[in-house]
């Protein structure tokens, strides 16, 4: 699909926050009682997260998370060459996080800290929308000095989590190290709130190094200032060689070299939770890219991944779901 990929390398390395997802189902009244913001991601301290957990009325589901981590686990489950770079605490959550990476076919490249492993409280409302409240913990301590080109030596693509824009020195160093190895840089804009808060830094410092830019409609609007989706994608494609606009249940659009490919969604009425939908979409898409598939095929794999994760709580697609996804892959 993309002639700048190094055909000898098929590794995908994700750099991001090593977090545990704490998932709860609550109604809109509960959410409004703790925040005026629905959807997106809000940074909080550990005390806030613990205080909200004391108030929840539903069972808490605990699974490893973090945007880039979810994507890289997806690559691993697709049998891709996957590595995750991040920082975890020396605690039980950190142990669970690292063990889960290995079980999902991902090579952990983790730094450790005495600070607790970060966590995300995801409140899922009856409309399947999730609102995320993130305590970064140890993940926030990943330092520029801990990022070297060596971490990306086998990477065809380095996926950088959008949330890293909150640590500008780390983001800048990661971009430099990735480019030194000749890897392509992919960035998922992560959340419209992130884009709004760091727009100048993203446009002036990050985007010049990005080859693959991924956004949903809210993030694209925040990034471009354009409400028209076709115009927003066109603006994104002027910023990166490959631009993707994810449209949820309406599918997606992929722009490569001025050519736009429309990708149909995988339809179904059994949506439970949208947690990780964009992250797993990116997993299928990037995996397809390094495998050399055409844009439409990359999009179809991505749509299958995004759909399957919406059928379960959290970002952990069960084995049966991965079997269905793999049945959509081209014959090798």
DSSP secondary structure of 159-226? EEEGGGGGSHHHHHHHHHHHHHTT-EEEEE---HHHHHHTHHHIIIIIGGG-SEEEEEHHHHHHHH--
How far is Cα 38 from Cα 40, in angstroms, rounded to an integer? 7
**pLDDT tier, 315 (very low <50, low <70, confident <90, very high otherwise):** confident
How far is Cα 52 from Cα 251, in angstroms, rounded to an integer? 34
Report the mean per-residue pLDDT for the chain. Answer: 92
- Tokens 């806030």 sit on residue: 48
Q: What's the pLDDT at 7?
A: 67
Most confident of 37-51, 230-244, 258-272: 230-244
Region 312-329 average pLDDT: 89
Q: What's the pLDDT at 301?
A: 96
> What digits encode the pLDDT tens for the residues 163-190?
899 899 999 999 999 999 999 999 999 8
Torsion angle defined by CA atoms of residues 120, 47, 129 and 186, in that order, rounded to the nearest 10 degrees? -40
Chain centroid to CA 166: how far? 16
> What digits encode the pLDDT tens for the residues 48-86?
988 998 999 989 888 888 889 999 999 999 999 999 999
DSSP run (H or E) holding 68: helix 67-77
pTM score, whole prediction: 0.89
Contact 9, 155 (CB under 8 A): yes
Q: What's the pLDDT at 66?
A: 86
Q: What's the pLDDT at 1?
A: 52
Residue 149, number of CB atoms within 10 A of its CB: 15
């Amino acid at each position: 699909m993309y002639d700048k990929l190094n055909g000898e390398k098929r590794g995908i390395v994700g750099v991001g926050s090593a977090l545990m997802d704490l998932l709860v189902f609550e109604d809109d009244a509960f959410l409004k009682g703790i925040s005026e913001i629905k959807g997106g991601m809000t940074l909080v301290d550990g005390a806030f997260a613990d205080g909200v957990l004391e108030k929840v009325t539903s069972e808490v589901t605990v699974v490893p998370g973090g945007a880039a981590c979810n994507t890289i686990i997806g690559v691993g489950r697709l049998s891709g060459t996957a590595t995750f770079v991040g920082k975890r605490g020396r605690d039980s959550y950190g142990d669970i996080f690292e063990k889960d990476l290995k079980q999902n076919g991902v090579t952990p490249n983790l730094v450790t800290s005495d600070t607790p492993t970060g966590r995300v409280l995801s409140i899922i409302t009856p409309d399947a929308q999730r609102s995320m409240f993130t305590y970064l913990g140890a993940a926030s301590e990943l330092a520029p000095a801990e990022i070297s080109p060596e971490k990306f030596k086998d990477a065809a693509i380095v996926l950088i989590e959008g949330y890293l824009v909150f640590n500008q020195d780390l983001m800048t160093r990661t971009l430099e190290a990735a480019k030194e190895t000749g890897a392509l840089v992919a960035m998922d804009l992560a959340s419209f709130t992130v884009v709004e808060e760091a727009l100048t830094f993203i446009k002036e410092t990050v985007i010049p190094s990005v080859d693959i830019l991924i956004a949903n409609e809210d993030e694209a609007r925040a990034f471009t200032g354009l409400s028209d989706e076709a115009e927003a994608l066109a603006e994104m494609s002027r910023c990166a060689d490959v631009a993707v606009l994810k449209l949820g249940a309406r599918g997606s659009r992929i722009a490569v070299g001025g050519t736009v490919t429309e990708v149909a969604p995988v339809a179904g009425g059994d949506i439970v939770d949208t947690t990780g939908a964009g992250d797993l979409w990116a997993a299928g898409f990037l995996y397809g890219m390094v495998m050399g598939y055409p844009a439409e095929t990359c999009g179809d794999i991505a749509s299958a991944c995004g759909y399957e994760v919406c059928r379960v709580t959290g970002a952990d697609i069960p084995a049966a779901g991965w079997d269905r996804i793999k049945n959509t892959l081209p014959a090798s």
